[in-house]
Amino acid sequence: MNKKDNTESENLRHSLAHLLAASVLKIYPDTKITLGPAIDDGFYYDFEFNQSISEKDLPKIEKTMRKILPTWSSFTEEKKTKQEAGEYFKDNPYKLELIEEITNRDEEITFYTSGPKDDGFTDLCRGGHTENPKKDINPDAFKLTRVAGAYWRGDEKNKMLTRIYGVAFKDKTELDEYLAWQEEAKKRDHRKLGKELDLFTFSDLVGAGLPLFTPKGTLLRNEIQNKLTKISKKYGMQAVTIPHIAKKELYEISGHAQKFSDELIKVVSHYDEFVMKPVNCPHHTQIYASKPKSYRDLPVRYMESTMQYRDEKPGEIGGLTRVRSITCDDGHIFCTVDQIKQESSNIANIIKEFYTQIGLYGNHWVSLSVRDPKTPDAYIGDENDWEKAEKMLSEISDDLKLDAKRVEGEAAIYGPKLDYMFKDSLSREWQLATIQIDFAMPKRFNLEYTNEKGDKVPPVMIHRAILGSYERFLAILIEHFAGAFPLWLSPTQIRIIPISENHNEYSEEILEKLKQSDIRVEIDKSNESLGKKIRIAKQEKIPYLAIIGDAEVKNQTVTLEGREEKKGEYGYSDLLEYLQKEISGDSK
């Protein structure tokens, strides 16, 4: 979408926010209106209602919007003094607060009115509307979608308001496609599938944002970690282990204490005060610092999958995508300036191999995430180091043909980075892997090595994350695959289904043989019918079923059935070879 189209869509959606507010006031005249911006794919408006509103009320509001729309031919702008604006909204504390802020910024106060003179709708607004709503807004191309709670100005200390969301497009076809996409997204929701597939759970006794992984969910995590570890070790990465707590001083030196000041979780013992680690890199600096280093020892490469903790607001916690206990795939390389390009290239190779095996590589782009020049105080480190690091990452992108796009304001506090943005099967974009060059932190911790001249100089620190947070990554994978994981990743790879009790003995033999060959296998010896057993297995997204009846017992075979089709009759050796080839990625 080009800039012009984007602006037109934003104006159309903002106009619909006004139409939503006007319709709510028609039905619920005692309601206090607050704010209503355009957002991706739609709009919302926050209200203070005097009665309870639910999604059952949305069709009524939507109907009123369509009834009002033909009477809206324009938006009329009118400038107001603070006194005039305050008088108009004298009974609305939300608007009065906004008017005060606009005045303090020395900006003009503007009202926009739409609809008939005697029955129009006026709102405090800075503008950005479609010129002719009744002409430009397709009445069949918008829909109110849901109701949610929202604190005024996003502050939990303020009053909870009611937010009504809507979506809007240019035509009905785009709306229908979006709604179909939403339905598919609901089916793939990792919270729903996580429960159905028995992958993870939450407990009020444990606490919000603290997921508990079941045996099957833990298998998923372990398989991903094993895959990543195996690839990383080829490039000299060495595993380390660090504690979950540290003195706050550690993060004050690194600069993270200030950044995460509102998210630090304190731990007080009988003797000392600690914080739960919000990041892992400061700990790794102390492993590096534990013994003297020479240039001959570099690069030093540490990796670890470990939990870190942040005190997220309860209202922002949801599923696995926003949690308080975050298992991070973390890696840090300490090297010389001359080694930066090779080490960064190695990380890029790990990223490529890992995401190729996941099936996501190629459907991505790379961001060269640099500082925002308007907010220099948001970053730590020397200006010259920043310029050097940004230049090197740009050259690395060119050398590796990553075609990275420069994005200002997305750098880490200590350095610029290459961020890999992957698209899932629903075309949603996720920032996952990252390569970050950091000159600042080694200097803050007085890290050093002896160079060829015998001088003590600081190393460069490269931060690498291949998948980021395991929790968030698993949420993405569950939704990407809709729970139907590839064979190597599936918690259960094959389920044996004996048709009757007469077939249990032979089924048990196959079960034990497959277990001994490290195939993750289950058996269903329930008294249910064959059809029901198969339906249950399909619902659980089991990749393969081995059906065993009279013929299979007689022939010493199994009938293999995949998620979509029957594969045929296999003897044990052929079955094992078939499964092992697919697990290793060698199957055709």
User: What does DSSP assign to residue 294?
Assistant: B
Rounded CA separation 285/283 (Å) = 5
Percent of the chain scored above 70 by pLDDT? 99
pLDDT at residue 401, rounded to an integer: 93
The model's confidence at residue 587, banded by pLDDT at 50, 70 and 90, is very low
Q: Is the pLDDT of residue 1 over 60?
A: no
pTM score? 0.86
Cα separation, 35 vs 97, whole angstroms: 12
Residues 278 and 262 sit within 8 Å (Cβ to Cβ): no
CA distance 441 to 283: 12
User: CB-based burial of residue 138 (10 Å sphere; 0-12 exposed, 13-18 middle, 19+ buried)?
Assistant: middle
**pLDDT computed for residue 308 by the predictor:** 93
Domains and CATH numbers, the chain: 3-188 (3.30.980.10), 200-481 (3.30.930.10), 494-584 (3.40.50.800)
| pLDDT digits 0-9 by tens, 42-101 | 999 999 999 999 999 999 999 999 999 999 999 999 999 999 999 999 999 999 999 999
Residues 556-582 have pLDDT tens digits of 999 999 998 999 999 999 999 999 999
* Per-position b or e across 272-289, b if 16+ CB within 10 A of its CB: eebbbbbbbbbbbbebbe
Conformation bin of residue 236: beta by default, left when phi > 0, alpha when psi is -120 to 50: left
Using pLDDT thresholds of 50, 70 and 90, give the confidence band for residue 4: low
Q: Could you count the other beta carbons within 10 Å of the beta carbon of residue 431?
A: 15
Stretch 288-316: mean pLDDT: 93
Of the pLDDT bands very low, low, confident and very high (cuts 50, 70, 90), residue 315 is confident
Short-list 8, 6, 14, CA closest to 38: 14
CB 402 within 8 A of CB 348: yes
pLDDT tens per residue, range 374-416: 888 888 888 899 999 999 999 999 999 999 999 999 998 889 9
Q: Is 170 exposed, middle or buried (0-12, 13-18, 19+ CB in 10 A)?
A: middle
Q: What is the mean pLDDT of residues 18-46?
A: 96
What are the structure tokens assigned to 299, written together? 């690069």
- Poorest-pLDDT segment among 137-151, 246-260, 286-300, 488-502: 246-260
Residue 205 makes CB contacts below 8 A (sequence gap 6+) with none
Mean pLDDT of 542-546: 97
Helix axes 470-481, 215-233, angle to 10 degrees: 110
pLDDT confidence band for 586 (50 / 70 / 90): low
Residue 2 confidence class, pLDDT cut points 50, 70, 90: very low
Q: Indicate if the pLDDT at residue 40 is higher than 70.
A: yes
For 438-457, the pLDDT digits (tens) are 999 999 999 999 999 999 99
List strand residue ranges (DSSP E) for 169-299, in order. 200-201, 212-213, 238-239, 245-246, 266-268, 273-276
pLDDT bin (cut points 50, 70, 90) of residue 260 is: confident
| Tokens 């100005």 -> residue | 153
Strands lying side by side in the sheet with 76-80: 76-80, 109-114, 121-124
What H or E segment, with its residue span, contains residue 403?
Answer: none
Q: What is the pLDDT of residues 132-166, one digit of tens each?
A: 999 999 999 999 999 999 999 988 889 999 999 99
Q: Is 190 helix (H, G, I), strand (E, B) or coil?
A: helix
Statement: residue 3 has pLDDT above 60 = no
Per the document, the length of the chain is 588
